Amino acid sequence: MNFIFFFPDEMRASSVSCFGNSVVKMPNYDRLASEGVCFDDCSVQNPVCSPSRCCTMTGLYPHNNGHRTLWHLLRPHEPNLFGYLKDAGYDIAWYGKNDLFSQELLDEYCADISEKRNGYKSMPSRPTGRVSGQRNPYPPDDPRYYTFLYSPIPEPDGELPLDINVARGIDFLRSRKAGDKPFFLYLPLSMPHPPYTALERFYNMYSAEPNIPVGADAIGEPIYAELIRRYRRLDKLDADFFSKIYSVYLGMNSYCDFLLGELLDALDETGLKDDTTIIVSSDHGDWAGSRGLVEKWPNSMYDELVRVPLIIYSPGCKAGHRVTSPNELFDIMPTILELAGIEPRHTHFAHSLLPMLRGGNGDPNRAVFCEGGYDPHEPHCSEAYTGSELHAKDLLDPNNIYYPKVLQQKEHPESVCRTVMIKQNGWKLVRRTSGDNGLYNLTADPHELTNLYNHTEYDDKRRELETALLDWYIKTSDTVPTTDDPRGF
């Protein structure tokens, strides 16, 4: 069995057509959903890039190995999906960003590591070009400067350019020959991660779309939200501006859909689809204007950040099946290993999704968890930390788009404190070390606009979820190695 993991960055489930968004056009996501299985309620284990990816590849939670920062990546002693596949003889092809492995593991897993670091010697066979990035059109004193809404990207004449990493992935598929080893193609994209911009046709594809209401409509929202609005000057902007951000974000998703379509076409053309499992998801979501906020926050547990799309096509799966029971993003790891016939050699807490690929519905009572943030006793975790050469010092430049975020974490560390979420049976509990806690009835309040934590009539539900959270921490508090050491000298 071959595998393709198509992994856009920062795509929330509610912005995807086959996950309930009636505005955005994503025909290739719809196509894959009709051929594969959709997991309607998939939660990430951390709302930030690196920690989420580390969890996804290991089946472990952030607290198991301390993966709660952008700079602590998987290291050689940590069993992971790539290692298992490589040991089993798989070819690993990886085109896109890292935010996952330490330098030592990159050397081990990437056959093209020299080109990754020094530049590829040849271009892909398909036209590529600038499809993300672009410039900030606003001067630093403009309240819109820190919103991540950038200018559209001019389109070149001729064929619509591909993201260069997807183009390399397509060339990889077309290079496969009969008798080659099975492969794992990993495509971690940079979109729809901010800045919010896209090629012109996608940038202007949608009119300004209404979004989840701004913070003034929320009751008992976490303290970080108002601070973000103040530090980024978002409180100076109106709802129409945030709707424009969201419409551009949807356009970015439509471009990702175009890329997926090109990849699926290449699979069909090469005849590889009958032997290939395709996984499509994202590492976490993005506010994209919801609540009058942009980007993400390390300890936010709103569904815009923690609920992501997950579609899996595998030969023989139950086409068009939808799984409504809760699942976690790191369930991908044991699912791939089971499909590949590989037995994991470490303790993990993820669940294989294979029964659901065959038509099962999973456990409707399953509790899912997410962790984030960091406390003052671990300053090296913060994006405001300056004690390491790896932390970007230019983040402290007021002209940097991330400057407000860093400044807020420095001046209000309580707003980014350690946080944990449990979601079960239509309820969500959020506990923070700062005491800025939350309780939401997701059935009655799907947008999480009313925090019920301090409402005494819900004390029993709060205690029930807090007990479940404690039980989970006890169960997952450590993992014992599966190898033994001699007790003598």
Q: What is the pLDDT of residues 14-42, one digit of tens each?
A: 999 999 999 999 999 999 999 999 999 99
Q: How far apart are CA 190 and CA 304, in angstroms?
A: 18
The confidence band for 219, taking pLDDT boundaries of 50, 70 and 90, is: confident
Q: pLDDT (tens digit, 9 = 90+) per residue, 321-339?
A: 999 999 999 999 999 999 9
Whether 136 shows a pLDDT value over 70: the answer reads yes
Local confidence band at 213 (pLDDT 50, 70, 90 cut-offs): low
pLDDT band for position 214 (50/70/90)?
Answer: low
Q: Write down the domain spans for the chain.
A: 2-364
Lowest mean pLDDT among 205-214, 365-374, 381-390, 466-475: 205-214
Angle between helices 223-231 and 403-411 (to 10 degrees): 130
Mean pLDDT for 145-155 is: 97
Higher pLDDT, 483 or 405: 405
| pLDDT at residue 216, as a whole number | 63
- DSSP class of 235: G
Does the reported pTM lie above 0.85? Answer: yes
Average the pLDDT over 186-214 and give the result.
90
Residue 390 pLDDT exceeds 80:
no
Residue 120 above 80 pLDDT? yes
Task: Using CA atoms of 194, 200, 205, 209 in order, give the dihedral in degrees to the nearest 10.
Answer: 40
- Confidence at residue 482, expressed as pLDDT on a 0 to 100 scale: 87
Question: Per-residue confidence at 393, pLDDT binned at 50, 70, 90?
Answer: confident
Return the C-alpha torsion angle 201, 202, 204, 210, nearest 10.
160
pLDDT for residue 85 is more than 90: yes
Instruction: Please check whether residue 278 is in contact with residue 33, taking contact to mean a CB–CB distance below 8 angstroms.
Output: no
The arrangement of secondary structure in 2-364, i.e. its CATH architecture, is 3-Layer(aba) Sandwich (3.40)
Query: CA distances (Å), 87 to each of 84, 108, 339, 345, in order?
Result: 5, 11, 15, 12
Q: State pLDDT tens for residues 422-461.
A: 999 999 999 999 999 999 999 999 999 999 999 999 999 9
Q: What pLDDT is recorded for position 342?
A: 98
Do the beta carbons of residue 188 and residue 96 sit within 8 Å? yes
With a pLDDT cut of 70, the percent of the chain lying above it is 98
Handedness of CA 460, 461, 467, 470 (dihedral sign): negative
Calculated CA dihedral for residues 54, 38, 191, 97, nearest 10 degrees: 30
Average pLDDT of the chain to the nearest whole number: 95
Q: With beta carbons less than 8 A apart as the criterion, state whether 45 and 371 touch.
A: yes
Contact present, 330 and 13 (Cβ < 8 Å): no
Model confidence at 208: pLDDT above 80: no
Q: How confident is the model at residue 396 (pLDDT cuts 50, 70, 90)?
A: confident
